[in-house]
């Protein structure tokens, strides 16, 4: 039986993908083959040595110390794009909340609950509304920082809303570029986007170059009265800089999925409890994708959508398959193949790919690998995580 340890609330339809005759899926396995999680933080947690893979049902992997796991051969997966539509829709809500006095006007109406006289109520409604007027999105400029799965969807939606769109993404993939409307203008750098945008929405991972990107310097480059939407990660903004920008009027509104003590206490931000991906559809998409990727890896050794290993997949040619990871240095693959040849083991098919410091190989062989063979392969220098799958 293979064991999957789960964390967080993983959609049942995803968990149901694991065949019950071969997989035990629960939250308490002591020796799991893999972990399946959402936002649970693995930093500072001891990982059982049995773990071969971790699947993040979602996009961001900053809750996983990926660089510590890679040298141990632990494959980390995410589910690119699976929750992008859910986030896009919450950005749309945020654009509207940031442009019209929706929440304050609702509070105003709620404050009229004791007014029992219909004529008086009507008068107060009509008199009060002037405080909550707003402006329209059409014709305004939206700056989209990060044009990946989510950013591209938002850029295209904003074009449809009649907005002008500027995008900034120094690492834009070819695939992401294909998704993007040709009407999206490219900014050369963050400051040039900030200087020209009425609304700015962030859709980048929390990594070294992006952490704290919305700081005092960025706000001083920004257009006065800008609306900032952050449904990506709290780490992207410096809390104090946001508070100063709200107080000075540099920011007309700040909407974020990442409440922090200072922002809650300040009271001028519109804060959601990390709701971006919380739709039935997104939760199911992520859970199903994560489960399928784990099953394909554990059963066949195939790697799809890993954030630290190369993409490696091969149709099965026989029932006998070996997989292994190794340090990405010359001669390791040759040594393994020579070892197989010396033992008269015929290789039927093979795929080998590398990414940064790591390489990964799938080899289909003609005969069933013995325990002695697996041990021999494991003892080759720089080879690890040898499996017969
Ligand atoms: N609130 C939520 O529930 C929720 C849901 C999904 C994703 N997210 C967050 O949103 C992020 C983006 O998600 P995605 O699915 O679009 O990911 P993605 O990988 O498809 O896109 C990220 C994009 O950011 C770009 N990028 C990287 N560094 C950049 C930089 N310095 N400046 C500008 N662009 C840069 C990349 O090139 C890429 O195109 C995730 O990493 C996650 O942190 C939050
Ligand atoms: O699991 C969630 O609810 C949030 C996921 C989101 O932050 C992501 O990075 O995909």
pLDDT at 37: 98
Region class of 96: left (phi > 0), else alpha (psi between -120 and 50), else beta? alpha
pLDDT at 319: 78
Check: CB of residue 327 under 8 Å from CB of residue 97.
no
Query: Using one digit for the tens of pLDDT, what is the confidence trace for 197-229?
Result: 999 999 999 999 999 999 999 999 999 999 999
pLDDT at 213: 98
Among 274, 355, 382, 385, which one carries the catalytic annotation? 274
Indicate if 5 belongs to the active site: no
pTM for the model stands at 0.96
**Which of 9, 41, 56, 58 gets mutated to test ligand 2 (max ligand atoms within 8 A of its CB)?**
58
Q: How far does residue 134's CA lie from ligand 2's centre (Å)?
A: 31
List ligand 1's pocket residues with C-beta within 6 A. 58-60, 80, 83-84, 87, 145-151, 168-172, 176, 203-206, 209-210, 231-233, 257, 274, 276-277
Nearest atom within ligand 2 for CA of residue 82: 10
**Which of 274, 281, 286, 287 gets mutated to test ligand 2 (max ligand atoms within 8 A of its CB)?**
274
The CATH 3.40.50.720 portion of the chain extends over 1-83+278-309, 84-99+136-271
Query: Using one digit for the tens of pLDDT, what is the confidence trace for 240-298?
Result: 999 999 999 999 999 999 999 999 999 889 999 999 999 999 999 999 999 999 999 99
If you average pLDDT over every residue of the chain, what do you get? Answer: 97
Burial 28-51 (b: 16+ CB within 10 A, else e): ebeebbbbbbbeeebeeeeeeeeb
Q: Quick one: what percent of the chain has pLDDT higher than 70?
A: 100
Ligand closest to 176 (CA) is: 1
Which CATH number is associated with domain 1-83+278-309? 3.40.50.720
pLDDT band at 317 (very low <50, low <70, confident <90, very high): confident
Which CATH number is associated with domain 84-99+136-271? 3.40.50.720
pLDDT at 318: 82
Among 45, 46, 126, 261, which one carries the catalytic annotation? 261
For the segment 330-355, the average pLDDT, to the nearest whole number, is 96
**Which of 58, 60, 212, 234 gets mutated to test ligand 1 (max ligand atoms within 8 A of its CB)?**
60
CATH architecture of 314-389: 2-Layer Sandwich (3.30)
Among 5, 233, 321, 387, which one carries the catalytic annotation? 233
pLDDT for residue 345 is more than 90: yes
Q: Give the C-alpha separation, 201 to 270, whole Å.
A: 14
Query: Using one digit for the tens of pLDDT, what is the confidence trace for 22-66?
Result: 999 999 999 999 999 999 999 999 999 999 999 999 999 999 999
pLDDT at 118: 97
- Any ligand 2 atom below 6 A from CB of 39: yes
Q: How far does residue 48's CA lie from ligand 1's centre (Å)?
A: 29
The CATH 3.30.70.260 portion of the chain extends over 314-389
Ligand closest to 204 (CA) is: 1
For the segment 127-144, the average pLDDT, to the nearest whole number, is 96
Indicate if 233 belongs to the active site: yes
Ligand closest to 7 (CA) is: 2
For the segment 12-28, the average pLDDT, to the nearest whole number, is 97
Give helix 149-160 / helix 84-99 axis angle, nearest 10°: 50
Q: How far does residue 77's CA lie from ligand 1's centre (Å)?
A: 15
Check: CB of residue 336 under 8 Å from CB of residue 383.
yes
pLDDT at 70: 94
Region class of 107: left (phi > 0), else alpha (psi between -120 and 50), else beta? alpha
Q: Quick one: what percent of the chain has pLDDT higher than 90?
A: 98
């Amino acid at each position: 039986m293979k064991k999957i340890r789960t964390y967080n609330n993983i959609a049942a339809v995803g968990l149901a993908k694991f065949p019950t005759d071969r997989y035990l899926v629960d939250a308490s396995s002591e020796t799991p083959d893999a972990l399946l999680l959402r936002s649970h933080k693995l930093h500072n947690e001891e990982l059982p040595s049995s773990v071969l893979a971790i699947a993040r049902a979602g996009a961001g992997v900053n809750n996983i110390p990926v660089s510590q796991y890679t040298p141990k051969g632990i494959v980390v997966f995410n589910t690119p794009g699976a929750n992008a539509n859910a986030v896009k829709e919450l950005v749309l809500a945020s654009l509207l909340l940031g442009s019209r006095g929706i929440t304050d006007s609702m509070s105003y109406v709620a404050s009229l609950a004791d007014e029992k006289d219909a004529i008086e109520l009507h008068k107060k409604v009509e008199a009060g509304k002037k405080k909550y007027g707003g402006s329209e999105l059409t014709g305004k400029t939206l700056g989209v920082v990060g044009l990946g799965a989510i950013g591209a969807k938002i850029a295209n939606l904003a074009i449809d809303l009649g907005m002008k769109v500027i995008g900034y993404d120094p690492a834009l993939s070819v695939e992401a570029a294909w998704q993007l409307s040709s009407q999206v203008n490219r900014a050369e750098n963050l400051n040039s986007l900030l200087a020209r945008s009425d609304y700015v929405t962030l859709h980048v991972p929390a990594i070294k170059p992006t952490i704290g990107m919305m700081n005092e310097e960025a706000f001083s480059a920004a257009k006065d009265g800008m609306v900032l939407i952050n449904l990506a990660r709290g780490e992207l903004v410096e809390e104090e800089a946001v508070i100063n920008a709200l107080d000075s009027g540099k920011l007309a509104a700040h909407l974020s999925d990442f409440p922090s003590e200072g922002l809650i206490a300040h009271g001028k931000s519109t804060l959601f409890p990390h709701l971006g991906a919380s739709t039935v559809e997104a939760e199911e998409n992520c859970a199903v994708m994560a489960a399928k990727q784990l099953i394909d890896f554990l059963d066949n050794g195939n790697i799809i959508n890993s954030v630290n290993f190369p993409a490696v997949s091969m149709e099965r040619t026989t029932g006998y398959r070996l997989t292994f990871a190794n340090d990405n240095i010359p001669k390791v693959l040759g040594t393994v193949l020579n070892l197989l040849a010396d033992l008269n083991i015929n290789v039927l098919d093979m795929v080998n790919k590398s990414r940064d410091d790591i390489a990964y190989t799938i080899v289909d062989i003609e005969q069933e690998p013995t325990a002695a063979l697996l041990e021999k392969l494991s003892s080759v220098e720089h080879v690890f995580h040898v499996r017969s799958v």
